[in-house]
Structure 1
């Protein structure tokens, strides 16, 4: 079940809200238990078997967390051993379900053996809920939060349906107090509805349209059809917009849903396509993932407070893991290492500062090429596609296909560019106290919702990209 489906919008969400806010049982215990049950049903709708895997992970995380948190009765060495035990278990599960099939394939190629019998299905959202469980253990170990006595509260933190499938990755120390002490109110509920609608519109009206262009262009290349330079760049640009509006739209919907139930999740995007360096881009893109690796990997390794050689190694480890986190494919590793090289070069030379107005051009070119590698099924495809973007084996500079994709979707292209800029926050600040803002924004949101519903009903469904990770 996904947020843009009619079953979620018109059945699941209204029923959950009606029961959650009914006046007869309004205790925090009832609402938390009900949200947990609803969240498990939400996950079981698409993963009827793997929901038990998630429940096992939750129970084990709670059990280990109790032992890690017993600082007064256990030595630091004992707590560290329990932490290592918990981390090994969760990382081991992640490896088995996400990477074992790929590892077996690569080993088979190396040994000229057949390991095709090893094929394990990937549970949706396993990377996200595994990282949240690790956050739970780390925050307890470092003394940032207290271990939960109730396994049901740990279950709510992990399985809470707004952020369960594709984030944002909510750190335990961020939400610990909200589990028992949040306060729902009308203002948050209305703000959450508005945020959800904006995210819904970004996903359905922009991301799905760009997905059609990107899929068409990339599939043309996959069948051996030579692309013009312009068409190749248009396909890459379409995917660049698709992945942003798809993922940031989901994050907007998740944050909005959280507010409707009294939770305040961290922001996950801050207009990354206005960045003037790869370093700045990663401060603005998938913020929850970047901060997770910074606080739980980079800093514990020593960060930049070590020798230069060790610092380069720390940076390499973080970006290799960032790439691998996204999937079991060499393309993801090379995508992560691309950013390792870019960030290392930027930190050592500070060359983006010397580019002036061209710093943004450099950043977006690098990001677009990176997304091309990310989108490609293998490295050979990526190399060939990027070659056509640079004019190698291409069908000229411009062709009818490029003209068609640009002219037929001119309005959506324009909307994608404008919404990639901080225009909406500016308008909200500018007119927040004006009658036009107080009346016009709800009308605008209603229109976006109705148009998005019509498009959802009348078009083929496209799943969220990050469901695969």
Structure 2
């Protein structure tokens, strides 16, 4: 079920009314309703894949219960590995089987040995990369005795399958989300209003910015040989805004919807395109995934401790694995590798934690130095997104080669003025709200209500005016 669909527009009010007006007096019944609603939400795509999420949830629930009683180190480690093998086994089969089979065949063919490996017509279960990491982190935390395992199976099932963030995050930690299922939720009007405001901004991002950018980005990337270098640059920039508005828009809708039900999810994006270096960008982009890899891969590998070669190794591992997490294609691996290269000079100069504050925090405009730092970081990010968007590495290099021709200095064939204006307004609103958790959080709250509502109505009007065909969120494919 898509957030931007009629189905969800019907589904959400029904669940909301049942949640607050029918089951409010019984916490277990509320949680059971959320489990049922989440399974309906997920099963709307393909009910057969419900078995995967239920099985994964039950495995980690019972492993957690056994870990609580087990003190034998070898047995505890065996239970942890059981969880890892089951969860990553499902993920590996559905997401990466064909990738490894095809590359295995190509590798043997390269050495003159012709073999055949059967490719399977495997459907990738929606959200498997997200809920796998969410439930896996629970088992790891229980194993490391960072949290007590739950004995409330309904709460655990609700934690794993919570529908607002089930299919594209944020990837929540059990320590933050699971305890919220234990407590009685009380409806707060102000919290619901704030959630609705964030939902509105998420829909604006998705429908007005992302989907309209997608129309031109797809046209340009799919016909790269037919356009000038300047137009290809426009296409890369459009995709840059598409993927940000699409993914952060989903996160805004997810977080806002959660607030309607009395839950608080972690911030997943913190205005990453205002970053002054790549390290800051990765502290602000897909925060729930970046911190997951930091805590469960980077730090166990040694993190930033040890000799320089170990630090460099760890950086490349975490970025390449992060790239591979996004999809079974060499383009994602190269995208991760490229970001590691970007990060390397900061690591070598010990400047990877240089920009920890907010850009232009006490002023309206960035300094000249900050502006050029943001521009350079944005340019590097746009360049990297070319590999992320391209069907293959050769297509990406062909795209880049076609940029750096004499036609780079021509007037672009595609330059939709309405979309450029919309992106400009979007950047302005994001800049004004950059100190908040999301751009509209406190925007115009100190202004007259009439002005504030006029602005909200304008956003809603834009959503209807600039809406196109219903499009999936990009990260559903991951």
The two structures have a TM-score, normalised by structure 2, of 0.90
Q: Partners in 1 of 2:440 and 2:218 — Cα distance?
A: 33
Structure 1 residues 23 and 406: alpha-carbon distance in aligned structure 2, compared to 1, 3 A threshold: closer
Per the TM alignment, residue 174 of structure 1 is displaced from its structure 2 partner at its CA by 1.0
Q: Deviations over 1:174-228 (max 9, x none)?
A: 112101115332221111111111111111111111111101111111xx32x22
Structure 1 residues 258 and 427: alpha-carbon distance in aligned structure 2, compared to 1, 3 A threshold: closer
Residue in structure 2 matched with residue 463 of structure 1 by the alignment: 472
Residue in structure 2 matched with residue 313 of structure 1 by the alignment: 313
1:196 correspondence with 2:206:
no
Per the TM alignment, residue 76 of structure 1 is displaced from its structure 2 partner at its CA by 2.8
Structure 1 residues 422 and 106: alpha-carbon distance in aligned structure 2, compared to 1, 3 A threshold: farther
Query: Relative to structure 2, which stretch is displaced further, 176-185 or 85-94?
Result: 176-185
Q: Deviations over 1:229-261 (max 9, x none)?
A: 210110000000000000011000000001011
Is the CA contact 2:23–2:30 (under 8 Å) kept in the aligned structure 1? no
Per the TM alignment, residue 343 of structure 1 is displaced from its structure 2 partner at its CA by 0.8
Query: Relative to structure 2, which stretch is displaced further, 346-355 or 356-365?
Result: 346-355
Is the CA contact 2:213–2:238 (under 8 Å) kept in the aligned structure 1? yes
Q: Partners in 2 of 1:175 and 1:24 — Cα distance?
A: 20
Query: What are the within-5 Å matches in structure 2 for residues 57-456 of structure 1?
Result: 57-70=56-69, 73-111=70-108, 112-181=114-183, 183-184=185-186, 185-221=188-224, 224-225=225-226, 227-349=227-349, 356-357=369-370, 358-391=372-405, 395-399=407-411, 401-402=413-414, 405-423=415-433, 425=436, 429=442, 431-432=444-445, 434-436=446-448, 438-453=449-464, 455-456=466-467
Per the TM alignment, residue 406 of structure 1 is displaced from its structure 2 partner at its CA by 4.2
Is the CA contact 2:228–2:408 (under 8 Å) kept in the aligned structure 1? yes
Is the CA contact 2:135–2:160 (under 8 Å) kept in the aligned structure 1? yes
Query: Relative to structure 2, which stretch is displaced further, 293-302 or 321-330?
Result: 293-302
Q: Partners in 2 of 1:466 and 1:422 — Cα distance?
A: 27
Per the TM alignment, residue 22 of structure 1 is displaced from its structure 2 partner at its CA by 1.3
Per the TM alignment, residue 407 of structure 1 is displaced from its structure 2 partner at its CA by 2.7
**Matched residues, number:** 455
Q: Partners in 2 of 1:182 and 1:150 — Cα distance?
A: 14
Q: Deviations over 1:279-325 (max 9, x none)?
A: 11001110111110111111111111212122211112111110000
Per the TM alignment, residue 80 of structure 1 is displaced from its structure 2 partner at its CA by 1.9
Per the TM alignment, residue 64 of structure 1 is displaced from its structure 2 partner at its CA by 1.4
Is the CA contact 1:273–1:420 (under 8 Å) kept in the aligned structure 2? no
Is the CA contact 2:323–2:333 (under 8 Å) kept in the aligned structure 1? yes
Per the TM alignment, residue 5 of structure 1 is displaced from its structure 2 partner at its CA by 0.7
Is the CA contact 1:64–1:86 (under 8 Å) kept in the aligned structure 2? yes
Uncovered stretches (5+) of structure 2, i.e. residues with no partner? 109-113, 356-367
Q: Partners in 2 of 1:58 and 1:24 — Cα distance?
A: 24
Per the TM alignment, residue 446 of structure 1 is displaced from its structure 2 partner at its CA by 4.1
Is the CA contact 1:145–1:176 (under 8 Å) kept in the aligned structure 2? no
Is the CA contact 1:329–1:378 (under 8 Å) kept in the aligned structure 2? yes
Q: State the secondary structure of the residue aligned to 1:301.
A: coil
Structure 1 residues 406 and 349: alpha-carbon distance in aligned structure 2, compared to 1, 3 A threshold: farther
Per the TM alignment, residue 263 of structure 1 is displaced from its structure 2 partner at its CA by 0.8
Q: Partners in 1 of 2:426 and 2:216 — Cα distance?
A: 13
1:26 correspondence with 2:25:
yes
Aligned alpha-carbon RMSD (Å)? 2.2
Per the TM alignment, residue 389 of structure 1 is displaced from its structure 2 partner at its CA by 2.5
Q: Partners in 2 of 1:82 and 1:267 — Cα distance?
A: 31
Per the TM alignment, residue 25 of structure 1 is displaced from its structure 2 partner at its CA by 5.3
Q: State the secondary structure of the residue aligned to 1:421.
A: helix
Query: Relative to structure 2, which stretch is displaced further, 31-40 or 179-188?
Result: 179-188
Per the TM alignment, residue 149 of structure 1 is displaced from its structure 2 partner at its CA by 1.1
Query: Relative to structure 2, which stretch is displaced further, 440-449 or 99-108?
Result: 440-449
Query: Relative to structure 2, which stretch is displaced further, 278-287 or 297-306?
Result: 297-306
Per the TM alignment, residue 429 of structure 1 is displaced from its structure 2 partner at its CA by 4.8
Structure 1 residues 37 and 386: alpha-carbon distance in aligned structure 2, compared to 1, 3 A threshold: same
Q: Partners in 2 of 1:317 and 1:49 — Cα distance?
A: 34
Q: Partners in 2 of 1:97 and 1:427 — Cα distance?
A: 38
Q: Partners in 2 of 1:329 and 1:460 — Cα distance?
A: 27
Uncovered stretches (5+) of structure 1, i.e. residues with no partner? none
Q: State the secondary structure of the residue aligned to 2:39.
A: helix
